[in-house]
Amino acid sequence: MERVFLEWLQSETKSRKHPNLILGVGDDAAIVDFKDGSTVISTDMLAEGVHFLSGEMPLELIGRKAMAVNLSDLAAMAARPVCAVVSLMLPKAMVLDEVKTLVGGMLKLADEFGVAIVGGDTNVWDGPLVINVAITGLLDDASPPAGGWRMNGAQAGDVILVSGDFGHSIESKHLNFTPRVALALFLRDKYYVHAATDITDSLTIDLSLIAEQSGLAMELHEASIPISDDALAKYEDNQSAALNSALYDGEDFELAIVVDPETAKRILEDQKLPCKMTSVGKMTSVDKMTQAETFILVDAQGNTRSLEPKGYEH
């Protein structure tokens, strides 16, 4: 099956011309012209039973997710997607048409975001389906901060902005979310972002990494957390459970950025913003004298409680 699949993939990718691609699928390796700017490289592995259930989910959407999670990583760095390589460990029972459907989901999303699939590897085994995508992107070194967005640049007093909403992503969002590449590139070109990440494991885990790497504390404002309609429907009148879903479920794949208060105000008022953004909290200094909590949640009455970073373990 491998030879027939590779012939099909070579035919599919040849029809998708890409300005950075010199040599794609069909040789021992690809040749890519990355032009000016620093290159960003990321990879994600998805496995049956951990990230998807192939017997219960469309193969096209599983393939789409495998590409989308990598695009989300590039968004977190403010990088323009360029190319990807795809490696598959296929169950022996999987037939060629199923593989084409799986990879077809990747190709469709790759076309949408200007990504050239330039190669990879395929093997068959007795185990479950495993997908690995490695993706590359380009930074605009002329845009501040030079070298792209990182987690460790937050400053005390900065405001935390997030895209979209959160909670109960297992309902469908983890398969059909929109990687926030367009938002990231829009923000990169107009605003100075101190720190950023994508929300994968959970809102609390990923934001806590920004605080930790920046040597700061953080507070979130309970009333401002954007809770998804799926979480609200799941927990109906139980607002506390819906909030916990938003804080801890993970796999929302939204973008979080940290900016100074004036920049936050300008972003929230920007009528050309590609998608909704919400202010959910701020960065604070760590009070070493009193051993103040480093991650707290503030309710509408001003009461505080400590938050434990926890979420989707995989």
- Residue boundaries of the structural domains of the chain: 2-138, 159-306
pLDDT the model gives residue 289: 44
Structure tokens at 3: 């030879």
In this structure, how many other beta carbons lie within 10 angstroms of the beta carbon of residue 179? 25
Q: Is residue 36 packed enough to be buried (19+ CB in 10 Å), middle (13-18) or exposed (0-12)?
A: exposed
- Give the three-state DSSP class for 3: helix
pLDDT the model gives residue 293: 72
pLDDT the model gives residue 26: 56
Instruction: State the 10-residue block means of pLDDT for the chain, 314 residues long.
Output: 67 72 57 75 86 83 96 94 94 94 96 92 93 92 78 96 96 94 96 96 95 94 97 93 96 97 98 97 79 82 91 66
Cα–Cα dist 6/121, whole Å: 9
CATH class of segment(s) 159-306: alpha beta
Cα–Cα dist 254/270, whole Å: 19
CB within 8 A of 156, min separation 6: which ones? 216, 283, 284, 285
What pLDDT, in 10s, does the model give residues 266-282? 999 999 999 999 999 99
CATH 3.30.1330.10 for domain 2-138: yes
What pLDDT, in 10s, does the model give residues 227-254? 999 999 999 989 999 999 999 999 999 9
DSSP secondary structure, 158-214, as one string = PEEEEES-BS-GGGTHHHH---THHHHHHHHHHS--SEEEEESS-HHHHHHHHHHHH
Q: Is the distance from CB of 180 to CB of 198 less than 8 angstroms? A: yes
